[in-house]
Amino acid sequence: MKVKAYAAKSPSSPLEPYEFDRRETKADDVVIQIQFCGICHSDIHTALGDWGSFSHPCVPGHEIVGHVIAVGKKVKKFKVGEAVGVGCMVDSCGKCENCKSNEEQYCTKGAVYTYQSTEYDKKSYTKGGYSTHIVVKDKFVLKIKKGLPLDRVAPLLCAGITTYSPLKRYGVKKGSKVGVIGLGGLGHMAIKLARAMGAEVTVFSTSPEKEMDAKKLGAKNFVVTRDLKNFLPFSKKLDLIIDTASAAHDYAPYLNTLRLGGTHVLIGVPADPTQFRGGPLIQGRRNLTGTLIGGLKETQKMLDFCADKKIFADVELIKAEQINEAYKRTIKGDVKYRFVIDAKTF
């Protein structure tokens, strides 16, 4: 199947129109006509070569929603016409301990990611959702309930599950106190999800002008992090911190806002190594950890939770020809809070 797309031919070139052939449909495949695809900061890092160069045209995109247009002969779970989603993975070994525990993202043989990944045939390269169609193994396709705003659902496939997973893992519930570092694509979802779980949310940001938006999204407190004295009222108050910041920052002031045994979860990945003092960990028996996306089972639970609670991303819908400008604006933080591409415009 020949599809239209946008691709980066090299890390130094802008994304441009590109055509390629999707693989033939296998017995366990689902063929999806893409309606919308979100722009994740990971797409930008990859396309710009921040995480290493690439030798094949890179078609980014792992926040994909669309409709089923065909299924393989062994597929029973999906029917033509249904709304579905595809996230960051399109395959895993299915046999290792982690896969059997519904943690496919940690497959010991390596998950196959939706783009710029090598499939298990060791010769095919995956291409993502900045395209008109995609063919995906049925296990890695997710159901989306009828009647939802698909453009606003798309970012849930990455930004949604990446923040939902640690909130659930660390038991956030009514009365929990959650800190969120950074108010962007990930941060705004963390606020919405934590509030829906009953938590009181405190947002940490370097930008004082974001306070009004943070509180509109559901945050109770807002801390401008440029002055360390602003952290003092929150000393030993929080149960959990979701850290979405991708710029280097000192973890110590945030760790000191955690209660005994509290946890600081890294989601954002600063480009440079981070140094920090161990005292805040030792003195409060605190935890500094990190997390990827969730597995397929958890991602489906997240989509259902968001549908029930009417939680969707705040998006700016763009045409394919605006992708390069959207990249520039995302890098500047000039988006509230996720660009989503209308696939009809490829």
Q: Do 165 and 147 belong together in one domain?
A: no
CA distance 236 to 242: 16
CA dist 102 and 83 (Å) reads 23
The model's confidence at residue 122, banded by pLDDT at 50, 70 and 90, is: confident
Per-residue model confidence as pLDDT tens digits over 164-219:
999 999 999 999 999 999 999 999 999 999 999 999 999 999 999 999 999 999 99
Query: What sections of the chain are H helices per DSSP?
Result: 41-47, 97-100, 150-153, 159-169, 185-196, 211-217, 252-255, 279-284, 296-309, 323-332
Within-domain flag for 189: yes
How many domains does the structure of the chain reveal? 2
pLDDT at 343: 98
Q: Mean pLDDT throughout 95-108?
A: 98
Are 276 and 333 found together in one domain? no
SS3 166: helix
Angle between helices 296-309 and 185-196 (to 10 degrees): 70
Q: Is residue 299 part of a domain?
A: no
Same domain? For 59 and 88 the reply is yes
Q: Is residue 304 part of a domain?
A: no
For position 54, what pLDDT does the model report?
82
Cα–Cα distance, 183 to 205 (Å, whole number): 7
Over the stretch 67-80, which tens digit does the pLDDT of each residue have?
999 999 999 999 99
pLDDT band at 267 (very low <50, low <70, confident <90, very high): very high
What is 45-105 written as a DSSP string? HHHTTTT---SS-B-----EEEEEEEE-TT--S--TT-EEEE-SEEE--S-SHHHHTT-GG
- Tell me which of 290, 305, 321 is where a domain ends: 290
- Tell me whether residue 298 is in a domain: no
pLDDT, average across residues 142-151: 97
Structural domain for 22, as ranges: 2-158+313-345
Is the same domain home to 8 and 110? yes
DSSP H or E segment with residue 32: strand 29-38
Closest among 290, 279, 289, 286 to 261, alpha carbons compared: 286
Q: Is the pLDDT of residue 55 over 90?
A: no
Band of the pLDDT at 116, cuts 50, 70, 90?
Answer: very high
In a domain, 271, yes or no: yes
Examine the domain organization and report whether 104 and 248 are in the same domain: no
Asked whether residue 84 is assigned to any structural domain, the reply reads: yes
CATH code for the domain of 276: 3.40.50.720
Does residue 28 sit within a domain? yes
Dihedral of alpha carbons 205, 211, 216, 218, sign: positive
Contacts of 121 (CB under 8 A, 6+ apart): none
Q: Quick: pLDDT tens for 77-100.
A: 999 999 999 999 999 999 999 999
Position 51 pLDDT exceeds 90: no
Average pLDDT, the chain: 96
